[in-house]
Amino acid sequence: MSQYSKVIQCLSRTLKPTSEAQEAAAAVAILLKTTDQGLKILLVKRTEKLSGPWSGQMAFPGGKRDPKDRDIRQTVVRETLEEISINLAHDCRFSGILKNMRSTVRPNLLVAPFVILLEHKPTIMLNEELERYTWIFLNKLQECEGTVKFPFGEVPAYLVEGNAVWGLTYRILKNLGHIIRVIIQTLEQPFNQSNNHKPTTLNVVKNEQNLIMNGSKVY
């Protein structure tokens, strides 16, 4: 089994079950695919609009819960299909969710970040709400970290292909990147059989909790 296949297994044991996301009013799809060089993650760029708080931003596919949606998982399946034509009901593995987060732009909006592994090579077709998409290596994000200036101030961001990834998307990527780095570090540690110690899940969960508390102060 490859290292990144083991990482995905550990990630699935570490994340919260999707059933714990039901209080959320919106959902985003963190789509992962494995490569020999590492895990890649899909980002989309929203079209420029005069209205809309996320106009022109780099983001994850997703959107608000519709009253017709059976649950918040159906929301992320529907939104992903509508926006990028990927059907999450087929050839995908729901690994779990990160902790629900509130949007900085709309603090009353609770968002569920679903982590999903694509088990096939998808054909992506964007709808009118999006102008482009890109796959980025999750393990390269630290090299892209910086800041971006707005009229309201300077905020932390990942600078990716000439675009700033900031706000909620930045916080989600920061959380996920940290969790995966901890998993990789733990897998590289020797297994202590004499104490029957299994550090992977426990250590990652602790680090995720610490990051969530610290991350609440991040834009």
The reported pLDDT for the residue numbered 211 is 37
Give 10-residue mean pLDDT values along the chain (219 residues): 82 90 94 91 88 83 95 97 96 94 86 95 94 94 93 94 94 95 87 47 40 34
Alpha carbon 13 to its chain's center: 16
Strand ranges (E), 161-217: 163-165
153-160 sheet: strands from edge to edge? 145-150, 153-160, 163-165
Task: Give residues with Cβ within 8 angstroms of 14, minimum separation 6.
Answer: 96, 179, 183, 201, 204, 205, 208
Q: Which domains does the chain have, with CATH numbers?
A: 3-215 (3.90.79.10)
The reported pLDDT for the residue numbered 214 is 33
The reported pLDDT for the residue numbered 50 is 53
Quick one: CA torsion of 182, 184, 188, 191, rounded to 10 degrees?
A: 70
The reported pLDDT for the residue numbered 210 is 38
Closest CA to 88 of 110, 58, 42, 120: 120
How many CA atoms lie less than 13 Å away from 219 in the CB half-sphere? Answer: 17
Closest CA to 8 of 87, 96, 74: 96
